Amino acid sequence: MTEKQEFWDIYNEKKERTGRTMKRNDWCLKDGEYHLTVLGVIKRTDGRFLITKRVMTKAWAPGCWEVSGGAAMAGEDSKTAVLREIREETGLDVSAWDGGYLFTYRRDNPGEGDNYFVDVYRFSADFDESDIKLQEEETDGYLFASAEEIKKLGEEGKFLHYDSIRQAFV
């Protein structure tokens, strides 16, 4: 069985689609070109956040803690992408939950072909742990962590993107 090839839209520095696409993980972007990724912070009504641990077989950052996220597919808007990523990685449908878009940050990696925008969302609701269905190829467990616990993981270098998204943990 062949894996379906995924494509990502290419954006300009104003975060506008250029009409061109790139193959997933084909780091061919020129300086000033970007792809779009999303992160979805999930908060329970008790103030704790759902975080997941990356499987040890991941090529990049194995065993680190993170929130759900990934790349927006070609033609997909950021909200659709974050809802899809959260559902794929945790089994949770957060589409009717409180919250939504928080902010965007941009990462430039000159000469590496991997520049990107990250749209950060936060959704909150009271939900049951039995609702969580982890994507086993991606995740090796989860925790409900306080903002302080996540900060500590970030300071230890064990929480991905912490410095860029710390304001989402309020």
Average pLDDT over residues 88-92: 95
Determine the pLDDT at residue 1: 46
Task: Tell which wins on pLDDT, 59 or 89.
Answer: 89
Q: Where are the domains of the chain?
A: 7-50+66-135
CA 150 – CA 163 distance, rounded (Å):
11
CA 170 – CA 93 distance, rounded (Å):
21
Condensed to tens digits (0 to 9), the pLDDT of residues 13-61 reads 999 999 999 998 888 899 999 999 999 999 999 999 999 999 999 888 9
Report which DSSP code applies to 159.
B
Fold for the domain defined by 7-50+66-135: Nucleoside Triphosphate Pyrophosphohydrolase (3.90.79)
Determine the pLDDT at residue 3: 57
Place of tokens 């000033």: 32
Condensed to tens digits (0 to 9), the pLDDT of residues 127-146 reads 989 999 999 888 999 999 99
CA 12 – CA 32 distance, rounded (Å):
6
Question: Would you say residue 151 has pLDDT above 50?
Answer: yes
Condensed to tens digits (0 to 9), the pLDDT of residues 114-129 reads 999 999 999 999 998 9
Over the chain, what is the mean pLDDT?
94
